[in-house]
Amino acid sequence: MVRDAGSLTAVPTPGRQPRRSTTAVREALLEAAAAEFDEHGYAATTLRAVAERAQVSLSVLHRHYPTKPRLFAAALVVPFVGFLEDFGAAWSGQDEQPWDDERLMARLITELHRHLSEHRRALEGLVGAPPDVAAELAGELRAALAELLARLDAIGHREADRRGWFSRDAARITERLVIAMTIGVVLSRDWLPGVDGEAPDDDAVVVERMVRLALHGIALEAPQS
């Protein structure tokens, strides 16, 4: 640091970057990793490229994320974090005047579909990895998603109780099936033909149909009055 000759205010020394906090470094690494995986896929992404993009040394990257699968899992959780933050904030705002079933499910699937679509290339890397790598990635991803799914379960349990849909265990299974369905739709977007052999319907229509399918399943599962 140097001081401005006309004041006592410290200013950064030219050519030197201010030291970043551990949290800031992790955020930079995850942002860089998500971008690299999205642009190049899992196989072609290197840890060195991620480190360079995040402007940290390779040793710093290894200190936070010792292996490529662990870094990939952490980066792949990013869209789920964004989804849960956006959906959770909207859901909290409707606590006193609850949404109807369709609006609740539509908001959940819309937010999930949007965030996953933005990171589709990374998802493709997960399903396209060699079997031995895929197994390691799956284990890392399960661990990374555990806390997020627990938060989503808490929302699902409350809504299942309030709406009388079904048991908490059934709600937990349904949440995961909705996530799997949405991932499948995002990944098959380009090659799955529409009903007339043309390109699939636009995103809004696809989301609407997923919502109806999910609600139909809930209606079949819910106890009859």
**Number of domains comprising the chain:** 2
Q: How far apart are CA 125 and CA 217, in angstroms?
A: 30
Which of 44, 66, 88 terminates a domain? The answer is: 66
Q: How far apart are CA 208 and CA 89, in angstroms?
A: 21
Asked if 1 and 112 sit in the same domain, the reply is no
Its pTM stands at: 0.78
Mean pLDDT of 86-103: 88
Q: What is the pLDDT of residue 9?
A: 45
Q: How many CB atoms lie within 10 A of CB 176?
A: 13
Asked if pLDDT for residue 48 goes beyond 60, the answer is: yes
- For residue range 136-150, what is the model confidence (pLDDT) as tens digits? 888 888 888 898 899
Asked if 167 and 190 sit in the same domain, the reply is yes
- Best CA proximity match to 123, nearest among 177, 174, 178, 179: 179
Q: Which domain holds residue 131?
A: 67-225
Asked if 42 and 121 sit in the same domain, the reply is no
Asked if 103 and 194 sit in the same domain, the reply is yes
Asked if pLDDT for residue 52 goes beyond 50, the answer is: yes
Asked if 56 and 75 sit in the same domain, the reply is no
Of residues 193 and 158, more confidently modeled: 158
- For residue range 108-135, what is the model confidence (pLDDT) as tens digits? 999 999 999 988 888 887 777 777 777 8
Asked if 38 and 122 sit in the same domain, the reply is no
Asked if 41 and 94 sit in the same domain, the reply is no
Which of 35, 66, 97 terminates a domain? The answer is: 66
Asked if 25 and 87 sit in the same domain, the reply is no
Model confidence at 222, pLDDT cuts 50, 70, 90, reads low
